[in-house]
Amino acid sequence: MKVKTKSKKVNKAWLNDHVNDPYVKLAAREGYRARAAYKLKEIDETLGLIRPGHVVVDLGSTPGAWSQYVRRRLSPDGAAVGALDGAIIALDLLPMAPVEGVHFIQGDFRETEVLQELEKQLQGRAVDVVVSDMAPNLSGVESADAARIAHLVELAIDFALHHLKPGGALVTKVFHNSSYADLVKLYKQNFATVKPLKPKASRDKSSETFIVGIGPRKSIGDGSAVA
């Protein structure tokens, strides 16, 4: 009974914080599906990653807030609908409601056939930016969760190295856990510029942060693997 009572208190506190969150209110006003849009917005505005004409891949896209933001960046007038200058391919294990102009693939990024479908949709085009908000279901066991998170980041890096244009960028979500230092090191081995960022929209209590790699240290198609 005590556990249930504590859980209810925690849920009530989270709900209260969520309802009063300024980014939640802003997302509702501006038509974004989640406050997460403002994390990518701040990263993009800080580093100037996404521009009209770009090909962007959104990994772990559901519910679609990052795809919505990218869609507006690729629109000539910043609109949520209408003309699109560029291409967006989104992928997630969970279903995602359509976003105009976004090609969505539902599947597990770790599976070969899903990755092949993603590559098929690229139609041989090199990618300008890969953004990844992928995160595994957490078990509460730190070592196991850190390994799962690291694996997803490693997959995203490997995909980016084989598909990014020279000067292209990769953004991944990570957490400050036992794998963090190794992931930063992996980024530095594979990208010319590495920027860890914690956007204002990322809650203070959260250990999440984002690592941005710009300028892959390999040419597309040269067959080299992640170090």
Point out the residues that are catalytic. Answer: 173
State residue 203 phi and psi, 5-degree precision: -60, 145
Q: Which of 122, 154, 134 is nearest to 93 (CA)?
A: 134
Task: Please tell me the distance from the alpha carbon of residue 14 to that of residue 203, in angstroms, as a whole number.
Answer: 12
Pair 154, 227: CB distance under 8 Å? no
Q: Which of 157, 161, 149, 160 is nearest to 219 (CA)?
A: 161
Task: Please tell me the distance from the alpha carbon of residue 56 to that of residue 160, in angstroms, as a whole number.
Answer: 11
Helix, strand counts (H, E) of the chain: 7, 7
Task: Please tell me the distance from the alpha carbon of residue 160 to that of residue 118, in angstroms, as a whole number.
Answer: 12
Task: Please tell me the distance from the alpha carbon of residue 118 to that of residue 133, in angstroms, as a whole number.
Answer: 17
Counting beta carbons within 10 angstroms of the beta carbon of residue 53, is it exposed (0 to 12), middle (13 to 18) or buried (19 or more)? exposed
Pair 59, 156: CB distance under 8 Å? yes
